[in-house]
Amino acid sequence: MTNKLNRREFMAASTAAIVGAAASGTLKAQAPALAVSKGIPPVVIASSNGHQFKNGGDVTCVERAFRMMTEGSDVLDSLIAGVNIVELDPLDSSVGYGGLPNADGVVQLDSSCMHGPKKRAGAVACLEGVRTPSLVAQKVMDVTDHHLIVGKGAQDFARLMGFKIEDDLNTSKSRQLWMEWKRRTDPEHWLDPDKRLMAGYRAGMSMVADGLIDRDHHFGTINCNGINSKGEICGITTTSGLAWKIPGRVGDSPILGAGLYVEDRVGAAGSTGRGEANLYGLSSFLIVELMRQGRHPKDAGLEALRRIANNTIDKRLCDAMGRPNFQVIFYSLNGKGEYAGTSMFPTKYAVCTEKGGQLLDTAALYSEWPRRN
């Protein structure tokens, strides 16, 4: 009579045979090695003001964001907590409270955020009276079916969400700078749109030359992007916009694909500088797409800058050598945790890794700043 083994008896006999063979040295291990994931190196990258202002505290934007993110907080929550430091700091004149106002002396704020894992986004533009537009943008993402709310509608939404609405976000510093700009602007510039534009621009640049405004703060903005060890990617951009802008002007910051773009596992890119130049080519979207194709963040950023340069043909926007006479800076990271700051002209960007926060030199398309015509 044939003896039949049930499954349990067969597995026990097989295991005993394998153990015996291994002990006698007749069986060599042939199982493939396990692929043990070490995780993605967490990174937070931002514009230079992300590692300069502390609002009276002891940490900068990138430091707070990195610490929260690596302690397990949601990546976007961490980044927004970081940029809140800069939005609330009256010493930074490029975002939030004390941001440089528009031509009428009114502070109007823009912001956008993107959550990679959730595939969601939110933004506000021309928001008045709220010091932290980044938090309002996050509310748009969390509680509405919309991506962008603007103007009075954005303020009404913020009020409904419980945000304090203030009559004026100017500080004594931002108001004083606005008055100085008005003094330097040709009083007849309203009669000729072209004359008005150039007079206002020259007045702003002369204030930069005199050290009254940081060169990068004339265009404003902080962008901050991060990736955690799980490879989850998020980003936030917030700004008071172009200094002395036409009331109601909206730049690239709250526009998805321009001032910010995030695709989870692929990468994130954001910008500061001349928003109109960035809007024309949706450069942040372009950078993420180039990273999807395998480009390093540095190479992707420089390619976007080349396209901006090639599209800049208006003489008023070119220097004596035919190059753009304005700054654009990109802050990019990919799904591997690789990152880069790239710019039209040399400047700094902020980054925080396990080594701590630091300011690094950007990779610049041009090695020297524009020459005046």
Which one is catalytic: 221, 312, 342, 362?
221
- The candidate with the shortest Cα–Cα distance to 75, out of 286, 296, 333, 292, is 333
Structure tokens at 316: 């008023």
Positive or negative, the CA dihedral 15, 19, 20, 26 is: positive
In Å, what is the CA distance from 347 to each residue of 9, 222, 272, 341? 72, 14, 12, 9
- The candidate with the shortest Cα–Cα distance to 268, out of 330, 222, 349, is 330
Q: Are the beta carbons of 222 and 238 closer than 8 angstroms?
A: yes
Known catalytic residue: 221?
Answer: yes
Nearby residues of 6 by Cβ (< 8 Å), 6 or more positions away:
none
Positive or negative, the CA dihedral 25, 30, 31, 34 is: positive
- Single-letter residue type at 302: L
In Å, what is the CA distance from 28 to each residue of 11, 19, 21, 22, 231? 20, 11, 9, 7, 37
DSSP letter string, 18-61: HHHHHHHT-----PPPP-----PPPEEEEEGGGGT--TTSS--H
Catalytic residue positions? Answer: 221
